[in-house]
């Protein structure tokens, strides 16, 4: 019982964290290469080499940081990614924790990510890191709200807050077609909460790296791995909520799930490379004035669909 | 009571975590740290609620408290004018009253825990906590919950409107002017051309 309920799920999540973060690093380098960015070393080895290099580097210290929070924040962000991966179902029975309220738990992961990213920027006791942290809080609230409305939309036809039920409710029609606004909005949330590509405003270049501007060595390795793992967890949630999860013809469920997660990851990483970064002030306006009302429309659409 | 020792160990460690972080809230020297210690305490309580089969309420505790504590930390920093909440400050005020209230509260709650007769009504295994909670909140009690929600939202907006009226450099509606470099002196920095206040040594007003 201890083996099947504790050991195997933990092992599964750890495996996903490691492989997922590596896949993100490789895919991102492949996409960058396809766009003509110069490559140093081989694509498959480069992430490992960078990881090993970071491991051997000295961890930077600032003047009087909040040591506990500063060192814990990257690990906590990684832990949140692990919680996210734990609720992603790979088939009807293959899921690390099949909690009845797993959709709400994912919502909590997004909310707690705001806390952790803010703490990461705040605890360094450095100007640019602090601005990055505050920036994320200002934006993170709108990401959480949009995500919440979109996820309530997918929970409605399933009549459940459980991801396995949400997937099962897409037997006839995937949510990406049933609620056309859902997936695009959710992808924007994904880029936001991992501050990736166009929505990288917390760790952006204009802040010399933002919340991560003062970290080096092992903490930076953990932070980078955690961001990549969070992107993987997010693509797993997106694939379950909108793309029918494990469902598909011929192939076994977990394989379909992996294919769909890879597809979502590819789209996110492509968007990250193609779109320019927007200014934080305009991003807040965009979120509250355009995308949040769109998520209301998505929810009303889902509600009408559930009533009919 | 047919639960394993694992549940007991989990409960005891979570309860310890909740109490210790709750104590740290008052011993730390920063508003941001205090807020997030409180968050850890609430999360531990949330997990205990999940152990008690309140699966929705426990998880709801995580995201509600996460957003709440973030907003609280930021608003405290904004209103207390402590740059970024990094300056050390005392988190305890009116210590005598607080100690008295703490002792009374502890005694009352402790007496309740020891002396009250708790009902022994094990719920049936096929009870669906999420569904029954939803039926309760959005069934007969819907009007109460929705009215309470709207009242709370209105209160929050009202409080922000009232308290943000006076900013650091005067009333928000008038416009912000920095304080003078000497008491009662000209505002530091750029001065409006049509400023009517006669103060300081500048007498070269241009009236159009």
**pLDDT of the residue at B178:** 66
User: How would residue B200 be classed by pLDDT, with cut points 50, 70 and 90?
Assistant: very low
Angle between helices B31-51 and A102-123 (to 10 degrees): 160
Residue B201 pLDDT exceeds 50:
no
- Residues of chain B contacting residue A112, judged by C-beta atoms under 8 Å apart: 62-63, 66
**pLDDT of the residue at B134:** 84
| Pure H helices in A198-279 | 218-242, 253-274
**pLDDT of the residue at B128:** 83
State residue A186 phi and psi, 5-degree precision: -70, -35
Q: Do B62 and A100 touch (CB under 8 A)?
A: no
**pLDDT of the residue at A248:** 85
By 3-state DSSP, what share of chain B in percent is helix, strand and coil, each rounded to 5? 60, 5, 35
Shortest alpha-carbon distance between residue B70 and chain A (Å): 6
Rg (CA), chain B: 26
Percent of chain B with pLDDT over 90: 35
Whether chain A has a CB inside 8 Å of the CB on B123: the answer is: no
- Count CB atoms within 10 A of the CB of residue A103: 25
What is the distance between the alpha carbons of residues A101 and A86, in angstroms, rounded to a whole number? 13
Q: Do A115 and B63 touch (CB under 8 A)?
A: no
- Count CB atoms within 10 A of the CB of residue A96: 20
**pLDDT of the residue at B205:** 47
Q: Look up residue B97 and give its two tokens.
A: 């009253």
First to last CA, chain B: 87
**pLDDT of the residue at A104:** 93
- A204 Cα distance to chain centroid: 17
* Residue positions counted in chain A: 308
Question: Which member of A101, A119, A140 has the closest CB to residue B56?
Answer: A101
What is the distance between the alpha carbons of residues A48 and A118, in angstroms, rounded to a whole number? 28
Residue pair A83/A126 in contact (Cβ under 8 Å)? The answer is no
Residue B124 pLDDT exceeds 50:
yes
Burial class (CB in 10 A: 0-12, 13-18, 19+), A242: buried
Q: Do B85 and A111 touch (CB under 8 A)?
A: no
Residue B179 pLDDT exceeds 70:
no
User: How would residue B198 be classed by pLDDT, with cut points 50, 70 and 90?
Assistant: very low
Task: Return the top range by mean pLDDT from A220-229, B22-31, B128-137, B175-184.
Answer: A220-229
Distances (CA, A) of A114 to A60, A77, A95, A108, B69: 23, 10, 26, 10, 11
Burial class (CB in 10 A: 0-12, 13-18, 19+), B177: middle
Residue B208 pLDDT exceeds 60:
no
Average pLDDT rounded to a whole number, residues B158-163: 78
* Residue positions counted in chain B: 208
Average pLDDT rounded to a whole number, residues B106-134: 86
Question: Which member of A108, A122, A144 has the closest CB to residue B32?
Answer: A122
State residue B186 phi and psi, 5-degree precision: -60, 150
Task: Mutation target for B interface from A6, A7, A100, A147: give the one with most B CBs within 10 A.
Answer: A100
Mean pLDDT of all residues in chain B?
80
**What are the b/e assignments for B188-202, b being 16+ CB within 10 Å?**
eeeeeeeeeeeeeee
Shortest alpha-carbon distance between residue A59 and chain B (Å): 22
Angle between helices A8-34 and A253-274 (to 10 degrees): 40
**pLDDT of the residue at B189:** 63
What is the distance between the alpha carbons of residues A99 and A97, in angstroms, rounded to a whole number? 6
The series of mean pLDDT values per 10 residues for chain A, 308 residues long, is 80 93 93 84 88 93 90 96 94 86 94 94 91 92 93 91 92 90 93 91 90 93 95 95 89 91 95 90 91 94 89
Q: Do B36 and A115 touch (CB under 8 A)?
A: yes
Q: Do A141 and B67 touch (CB under 8 A)?
A: yes
Whether chain A has a CB inside 8 Å of the CB on B137: the answer is: no
- Count CB atoms within 10 A of the CB of residue A132: 31
**pLDDT of the residue at B118:** 84
Q: Do A104 and B56 touch (CB under 8 A)?
A: yes
Question: Which member of B66, B86, B130 has the closest CB to residue A100?
Answer: B130
**pLDDT of the residue at B146:** 86
Answer with the residue of higher pLDDT: B77 or A240.
A240
User: How would residue B2 be classed by pLDDT, with cut points 50, 70 and 90?
Assistant: low
Residue pair A242/A175 in contact (Cβ under 8 Å)? The answer is yes
User: How would residue B176 be classed by pLDDT, with cut points 50, 70 and 90?
Assistant: low
Residue B65 pLDDT exceeds 80:
yes
């Amino acid at each position: 019982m201890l083996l099947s309920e504790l050991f195997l799920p933990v092992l599964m999540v750890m495996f996903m964290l490691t492989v997922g973060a590596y896949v993100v690093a490789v895919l991102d380098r492949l996409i960058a290469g396809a766009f003509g960015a110069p490559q140093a070393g081989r694509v498959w080895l480069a992430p490992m080499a960078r990881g090993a290099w970071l491991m051997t580097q000295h961890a930077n210290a600032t003047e009087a940081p909040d040591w506990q929070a500063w060192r814990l924040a990257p690990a906590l962000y990684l832990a949140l990614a692990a919680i996210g991966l734990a609720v992603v179902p790979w088939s009807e029975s293959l899921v690390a924790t099949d909690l009845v309220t797993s959709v709400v738990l994912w919502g909590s992961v997004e909310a707690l990510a705001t806390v952790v990213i803010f703490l990461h920027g705040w605890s360094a006791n450095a100007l640019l890191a602090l601005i990055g942290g505050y920036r994320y809080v200002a934006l993170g609230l709108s990401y959480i709200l949009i995500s919440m409305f979109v996820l309530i939309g997918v929970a409605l036809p399933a009549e459940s807050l459980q991801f396995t039920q949400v997937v099962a409710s897409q037997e006839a029609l995937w949510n990406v077609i049933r609620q056309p606004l859902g997936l695009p909005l959710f992808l924007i949330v994904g880029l936001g909460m991992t501050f990736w590509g166009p929505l990288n405003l917390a760790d952006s270049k204009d802040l010399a790296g933002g919340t991560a501007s003062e970290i080096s060595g092992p903490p930076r390795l953990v932070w980078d791995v955690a961001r990549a793992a969070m992107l993987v967890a997010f693509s797993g949630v997106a694939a379950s909520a909108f793309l029918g999860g494990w469902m598909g013809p011929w192939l076994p469920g977990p394989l379909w799930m992996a294919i769909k997660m890879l597809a979502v990851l590819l789209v996110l990483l492509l968007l990250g490379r193609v779109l320019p970064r927007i200014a934080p002030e305009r991003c807040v306006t965009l979120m509250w004035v355009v995308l949040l009302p769109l998520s209301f429309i998505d929810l009303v659409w889902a509600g009408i669909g559930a009533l009919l | 009571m047919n639960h394993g020792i694992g549940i007991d160990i989990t409960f005891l460690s979570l309860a310890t975590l909740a109490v210790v972080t709750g104590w740290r809230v008052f011993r730390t020297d920063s508003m941001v740290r205090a807020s997030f210690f409180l968050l850890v305490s609430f999360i531990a309580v949330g997990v205990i609620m999940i152990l008690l089969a309140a699966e929705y309420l426990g998880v709801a505790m995580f995201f509600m408290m996460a957003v709440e504590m973030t907003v609280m930390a930021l608003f405290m920093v904004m209103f207390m004018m402590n740059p970024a909440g990094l300056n050390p400050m005392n988190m305890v005020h009116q210590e005598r009253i607080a100690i008295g209230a703490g002792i009374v509260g502890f005694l009352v709650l402790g007496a309740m825990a020891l002396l009250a007769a708790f009902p022994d009504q094990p719920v049936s295994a096929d009870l669906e906590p999420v569904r029954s909670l939803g039926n309760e909140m959005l069934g007969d009690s819907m009007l109460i919950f929705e009215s309470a929600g709207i009242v709370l939202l209105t209160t929050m907006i009202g409080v922000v409107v009232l308290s943000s009226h006076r900013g650091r450099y005067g009333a928000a509606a008038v416009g912000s002017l920095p304080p003078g470099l000497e008491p009662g002196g000209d505002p530091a920095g750029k001065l409006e051309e049509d400023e009517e206040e006669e103060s300081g040594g500048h007498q070269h007003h241009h009236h159009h």
